[in-house]
Structure 1
């Protein structure tokens, strides 16, 4: 079976991509439509910075083609400020907004925790207890202490995906035995800027063969992200 990997980016509104991806004369208001002609998914990071409304997500839902999928990042108020403490109601509101706004175009719900969020039994239990398992939950950690068998086993038992990351300060393991394969390429050695070579992308493509999931390029502070996404997409066809 050929891999069922859907590839996209974590940003699209990018002036670096003019003449490289977007035609020179294409108005910026048409960039997302153009992006959707080339990719079938988008990792929505705007919700990390500002708690979304149903209307905001409905607008994105209406802009996207019928088969398009969004992965949506949980607000930093939940993951970075409160760090899941006393967040049950807030998180439930977010899930409800995702469900009502994105409907069938919602792919995964991404929790990204800060480097200061180190492993502990208590934190692991909090994660397990607070998630809504009607959604595809993906957890991205930024501290290596979470790379351990206990976490992985608990995640598998609870149908949670451990996010694979390409990040300067983290192991680059590609995890293939969770509910989804979910990879975020952030850029190495320069975070958000560095490009991945053809050889590196071929190596990744060989590992994700026969898998099902999502790959997002977040090295979008330059032209690298879109070029890498297009190249890997060509490899998976």
Structure 2
């Protein structure tokens, strides 16, 4: 099982000349970043549905063993607030993300901080989510905005989709929320937000999803070596099928002892900390890798 460590987004002006070489063309930033980390969270899909050709282009610019996670449309999560959103889901899956094929990691559903947990409404939304590529193409085919563009290979694929939920209202600190995630094999995002939003470590799916926004100052502060070592210890346990003894969980149930994929994304990008923290964590977990970027923040 894989541990994917990366960054949330890659187009940031302050990164130029610090993480990105000064003479690197903007159009080559994705290609460059994909050689330094093993995964990237696509943020553009949160603000607007992308084009099928855009996903195909992104896929062509990264190594074969690279993967993307997709931040789902805020129109679904923040505007519709998970209600009456079947048409929006149809267009989201019709926009081409399945063209990433083996390079598609997980789909992140980030809920707004003013959205309260409603068990019935939340389960109704979970029931709408496709569980495989094939199911997602059937949904996409109903789109009035996008033509039927997925290949037969994608249409016939039984590959499972991974859905992860990041919550930002304390009403989600509810065992019923954990139960619903487990029922539909959706991951609870372990989101380090410097204490700003809820933090829970219940394992609810066959994969783990972490978002590290900064442990002292939201979006801004970097991670000290001691903090990265702490996270590395937990990641090893989660990947192996166990969990830390001091795990902050809402329920007493232990996760099944099966190895899991782990996705870790650093989102402390304001002061160019994210790429360097990602690389440092990669080095801790893979000390034998010698081809990682060795620069440091200015």
Q: Same fold (TM over 0.5)?
A: yes
**Equivalent residues in 2 for 1:64-143, closer than 5 Å:** 64-134=62-132, 135-143=161-169
Distance in 2 (CA, whole Å) between partners of 1:129 and 1:177 is: 16
8 Å CA contact 2:55, 2:97 repeated in 1: no
Q: Could you say which structure has the larger radius of gyration?
A: 2
**Which of these residues, 176, 186, 190, is aligned with residue 160 of structure 1?**
186
Residue-by-residue CA offset, 1:172-219 (whole Å, 9 max, x unaligned): 334445221100111244321111211111111101105121000111
**Which of these residues, 189, 211, 214, is aligned with residue 187 of structure 1?**
214
**Which of these residues, 5, 10, 16, is aligned with residue 12 of structure 1?**
10
Distance in 1 (CA, whole Å) between partners of 2:168 and 2:68 is: 22
- Residue 209 of structure 1 aligns to a residue whose secondary structure is helix
Task: Tell me the C-alpha RMSD between the 2 structures.
Answer: 1.8
8 Å CA contact 2:83, 2:125 repeated in 1: no
Instruction: Report the counterpart of residue 141 of structure 2 in structure 1.
Output: none
Shift of 1:113: 0.7
Distance change >3 Å, CA 70–CA 145, structure 1 → 2:
same
Q: Where do 5+ consecutive residues of structure 1 fail to align?
A: none
8 Å CA contact 1:42, 1:69 repeated in 2: yes
- Residue 95 of structure 2 aligns to a residue whose secondary structure is helix
8 Å CA contact 2:11, 2:29 repeated in 1: yes
Q: Where do 5+ consecutive residues of structure 2 fail to align?
A: 133-160, 240-260, 287-298
Instruction: Select the structure that is richer in helix.
Output: 1
* Structure showing greater relative contact order (alpha-carbon pairs closer than 8 Å, 6 or more residues apart): 1
Quick check: 1:236 aligned with 2:285? yes
